[in-house]
Every structure is written in structure tokens, then in C-alpha cells.
Structure 1
């Protein structure tokens, strides 16, 4: 810890700054005071960028091309639609006793769990566990 003694001429400046941060009403009649106390608090917001959409990557599971899959690096579970499980074939579906609560509060019970599915994204390969969910897959509409 570094201790710096307050030099008597600095004490009024520090007292005024502390009162300002604590929300006490202080008189900032001097432009110099306004520059020192108000300006440092105001920060510019970052420039708003256009939504880039969802992050998708080409994916292959057990040598079956799944196409482009949505990636959520912050998710705690990996989901697979039941239709993809049937398309891939050869994966063992194990029973699981859990429920999923989605963003809108809807509770969904998975069909089961697939353990150690061989997932390839470009040249990288991973063994990943999936919760298999029976859900409606909406086809992406292509504007012409």
C-alpha cells in the first residue's frame, strides 16, 4: 500500500471531489471546477454496430455433414435436434433425468443424451456430449 500525505493546498480539492462522488450538492460555479470534476466521469459510448447475426460454422458429426450449426460459446449444454440424431445414425441415446428451461420460461424435457459424439469443425475434432431435444426445425428462407 502506498501512502501519500495530503499537502494542505490539496485538501480542498479532494474534499470537493469526495463530496461530488457521494452525491452531495456542491457549487461548481467555476469552469475550472467543472472541467476537473464533471468531465472525467462522462465517457463516450462505443459506436453502435450492425447486428452480425448468429455465429454459424460448418459441422460434421460422425462423418455426417450437418451443415452450418449455430455456435453459442457461453452455453452450458449442447443441444441436438432429434431429427439430426436420426440423420446421423449410429449414436447411442441414453436416458437422462433433467429438464431445460429456455429463455421464455418454457420447460422442455430432453429425449435423452448422446455422449462422446465425434464433432469436426473444419480441421478440429472434439468429443462432445449432447442433450437431444425433439423440436420443430424451421427452414431458413432465402430471399431471391
Structure 2
């Protein structure tokens, strides 16, 4: 009887209570000591890939529409055009004939101001070594002293008023029509406005 009670009181111990749990397979990730270097290298690889795609792309749609289709490359294109990204180390891009003609077009060399544009001319028997040519002027001026010296006809009166470069207003003496002016081997008829002004010995006609 006692043996039966002892058997009933004895605690029940599970068979697998003493077994050890299996070790976890989780691996610890060690962070990089300089993460900026990895980001910079990744960005450089992206730019290199972007340049390779840019060489192969052929656009049949507007550029803005293409950038909307590839928003990931929009910032790269912006950095490329603003020269934030140096692509000198990359290989050369072969241009087509039309692009090469635009790039190879020579730029006009900047030179100094050549000064006043003058030509020699002859009126009657008087030769003028330097007659000032103003390509923007609508009239030809002759000083009253030169007109008196030439003695070629009578100038018709006029009510014209001339505003000079210094904003002063002067009334001409008259207008001399159809004066034959010889330039080289060519002869041209020209109308001169006679103005009473000081004569410039360098440019008697202007």
C-alpha cells in the first residue's frame, strides 16, 4: 500500500527537460568604420552607369518628357550640367556630323576698335584723303567753309533742324543736291546738307 502511494506522489519529469536548446544562427553585422566612403563609391558607380546609358540613348521625344520617365537620373543630369560631377576621366563620346560642325565652328577673334571708318574721295577737283563714313547716318554733312571753297552751285534753303550728338539743335544753311563724288573709279551722286560749323582738318566731309 505504501509503495503504491509513493509511486503516485513521485513527480513526473519530462524526458526532454535536460536537453540543451539549439544555438541561434543569427550573425552579427559589423558596421563599416567609414560609411561615407561606401556611399561615395556607390554614387560614383551610379554616375558611371548613367554615362554609359547616356551614350546609348536616342531621344525621339522632348528631353523634359524623357527626364520625367527617369526621375532617378534627373538629379544626375542636373549635377552633370552644373559641373558638380567631373567626368573627364571617362571615355570620349563620338559626336555625329551635325554636332561636330557646331562644336568645331571657330569663334570670332576679339580685336580692338579700328576707329573711325574713312575713305578717300574727290569732288570736282578737290581730293579729300579722309572722308568720314557713318553707316548709321541718313544724311551727308558738309561744312560751310568747304562748300564755299568748292564753289559748286547754290544750295537750296531748308527748314530742317539737326540735333547733334551733344543734344544741341542747329539749322542748316541749305541742301546741295546731286553732287558728283568720285570714290576710286566709281562716281556717285550725293546730296549734302550744308552746316555752319567748325571744320575738322582730319575729316572735312562727314
TM superposition score category, shorter chain reference: 0.5 to 0.7
Give TM-score, length-normalised by structure 2.
Answer: 0.48
Larger-gyration structure (1/2): 2
**Which residue of structure 1 aligns with residue 147 of structure 2?**
85
> Are residues 1:11 and 2:59 paired?
no
**Which residue of structure 1 aligns with residue 125 of structure 2?**
63
CA separation of 1:13 and 1:110: change in aligned 2, threshold 3 A: farther
Regions of 4+ moved over 4 Å: 27-30
Q: Whole-Å Cα distance in 2 between the matches of residues 108 and 28 of structure 1?
A: 65
Bigger proportion of residues as helix: 2
- Where structure 2 has 5 or more consecutive residues not aligned to the other structure, the ranges are 1-59, 69-74, 84-106
Q: Whole-Å Cα distance in 2 between the matches of residues 13 and 95 of structure 1?
A: 71
Aligned CA-pair RMSD: 3.0
Q: Whole-Å Cα distance in 1 between the matches of residues 165 and 108 of structure 2?
A: 27
Larger RCO (alpha carbons 8 Å, 6+ apart): 1
8 Å contact kept, 1:109–1:133 = yes
8 Å contact kept, 1:66–1:84 = no
Q: How far apart are 1:30 and its partner, in Å?
A: 4.3
Q: Whole-Å Cα distance in 2 between the matches of residues 98 and 59 of structure 1?
A: 26
Q: Whole-Å Cα distance in 1 between the matches of residues 76 and 168 of structure 2?
A: 53
Give TM-score, length-normalised by structure 1.
Answer: 0.67
Q: Whole-Å Cα distance in 2 between the matches of residues 134 and 28 of structure 1?
A: 69
Aligned residues: 116
> Are residues 1:34 and 2:82 paired?
yes
Q: Whole-Å Cα distance in 2 between the matches of residues 124 and 97 of structure 1?
A: 32
Bigger proportion of residues as strand: 1
Matched ranges for 1:1-144 at <5 A? 6=61, 11=65, 13=67, 30-34=78-82, 47-140=109-202
Q: Secondary structure at the match of 2:111?
A: coil
